[in-house]
Amino acid sequence: MKNKSIFTAWLLAAALCFVLGGCATNPYTGKSTLALVGRKSLHEESFASYAEVMKAAQSYEETGTRNAMLVQTVSNKLRDAAEKWAAANGNSEYLEDYQWEYHLIRSDEVNAWCMPGGKIVVYTGILPVTKNADGLAAVLGHELAHALLNHGQQRQSAGMLQNIGVAAAQIGVTVAVAQDTKQNTNTAVQSGKAAGDVAALASTLFGTLPYSRSHETEADKIGQTLMIIAGYNGEEAAALWDRMAQLGGSGQSDFFSTHPASEKRAKALRQELPNSRKIAERVIASAR
């Protein structure tokens, strides 16, 4: 009964997506994706959050140095590559509401990120791993891809569906238990709550986390293509994750992780490289 109710809840949640018309086609993948959250409002929230982050990190920002200039150069080339790719697919207007901005922050953290709408931060701690412009392009290509693919929008939309599914599971099982066993109301409500807990766990392990890993893999592929369009060595994308694996980052089993294991990422990128080069050649030829 629990499994049936949970399954029914997810069917109802999926149906809600179509009722609301909450789907959009991405020009970089051609895929239809969840879009229950408006991209404009998401970008506005992102820009406001980014301003707060940069205000707090102002004293740690690195400017005018060789590394700061490298971040600016690589980011600009990748942005140009994204524009060329969108134009080649007849979607130049897709990037109109992106407001690109790039900053280098002094921190030992091995990380970089890009908020929805094109707001980028690179931490100096990742530069020893990227090693060169190609390695940095691999990292930033991946981060830009998250923004270009609207992964933030999709995750918020998926979260909305997840909440609806859990609530529906609780209601469905509460009603079923009350009808089938004629238990008192308190017992039925407790059973419904338990079902909701199970639904939440199941949706995390088999919904949210795999969905996030799917995003990471997708961003790896699109990011690799972006860096090639921008004129960087695509082979460096896999080499970067070889170096990440040596650091131990995301190297364990990826079942309970939102990121694929580094070794898997490197292997997948090498397999995808011929296709990335093919797409890049088409985009570059279209831009001439």
Pick the closest to residue 224 from 213, 239, 243, 246 (CA basis). 239
Spatial contact of 175 and 54, defined as CB atoms under 8 Å apart: no
Spatial contact of 258 and 279, defined as CB atoms under 8 Å apart: no
Please check whether residue 234 lies inside any domain of the structure.
Answer: yes
Q: Please pick, among 83, 143, 218, 272, the residue that the annotation labels catalytic.
A: 143
Q: Containing domain of residue 89, as a range?
A: 23-152+213-287
Please check whether residue 29 lies inside any domain of the structure.
Answer: yes
* CA torsion, ordered 180, 185, 187, 191, to nearest 10 deg: 70
Spatial contact of 50 and 119, defined as CB atoms under 8 Å apart: yes
Distances (CA, A) of 242 to 64, 130, 208, 254: 30, 11, 26, 16
How confident is the model at residue 12, as a pLDDT?
52
How confident is the model at residue 152, as a pLDDT?
61
And the tokens for 122?
Answer: 């690179």
Q: Give 147-205 pLDDT, tens digit per residue.
A: 888 766 556 544 443 443 333 334 343 334 444 554 454 544 444 444 444 444 443 33
Report the C-alpha gap between 177 and 85 in whole angstroms. 54
How confident is the model at residue 256, as a pLDDT?
47
Cα dihedral sign, 155-211-19-116? positive
Instruction: Determine phi and psi for 250, rounding to 5 degrees.
Output: 55, 30
Please check whether residue 194 lies inside any domain of the structure.
Answer: no
How confident is the model at residue 205, as a pLDDT?
38
pLDDT along the chain (288 residues), means of 10: 48 48 70 62 81 89 96 97 94 88 93 87 94 97 89 54 40 42 48 44 40 80 97 97 79 53 92 97 94
**pTM of the full structure:** 0.72
And the tokens for 76?
Answer: 């600009």
How confident is the model at residue 186, as a pLDDT?
52
Please check whether residue 105 lies inside any domain of the structure.
Answer: yes
How confident is the model at residue 37, as a pLDDT?
56
* CA torsion, ordered 27, 28, 34, 36, to nearest 10 deg: -60
Please check whether residue 185 lies inside any domain of the structure.
Answer: no
Spatial contact of 28 and 151, defined as CB atoms under 8 Å apart: no
Spatial contact of 109 and 123, defined as CB atoms under 8 Å apart: yes
Please check whether residue 126 lies inside any domain of the structure.
Answer: yes
Spatial contact of 134 and 232, defined as CB atoms under 8 Å apart: yes
How confident is the model at residue 41, as a pLDDT?
72
Report the C-alpha gap between 268 and 244 in whole angstroms. 15
* Residue where the block lists tokens 């980014």: 50
How confident is the model at residue 214, as a pLDDT?
79
Please check whether residue 169 lies inside any domain of the structure.
Answer: no
Instruction: Determine phi and psi for 88, rounding to 5 degrees.
Output: -65, -25
**Is 52 part of the annotated catalytic residue set?**
no
Structural domain count, the chain:
1
DSSP 218-254: HHHHHHHHHHHHTT--THHHHHHHHHHHHHTTT-S--
Strand partners of residue 23: 34
Please check whether residue 159 lies inside any domain of the structure.
Answer: no
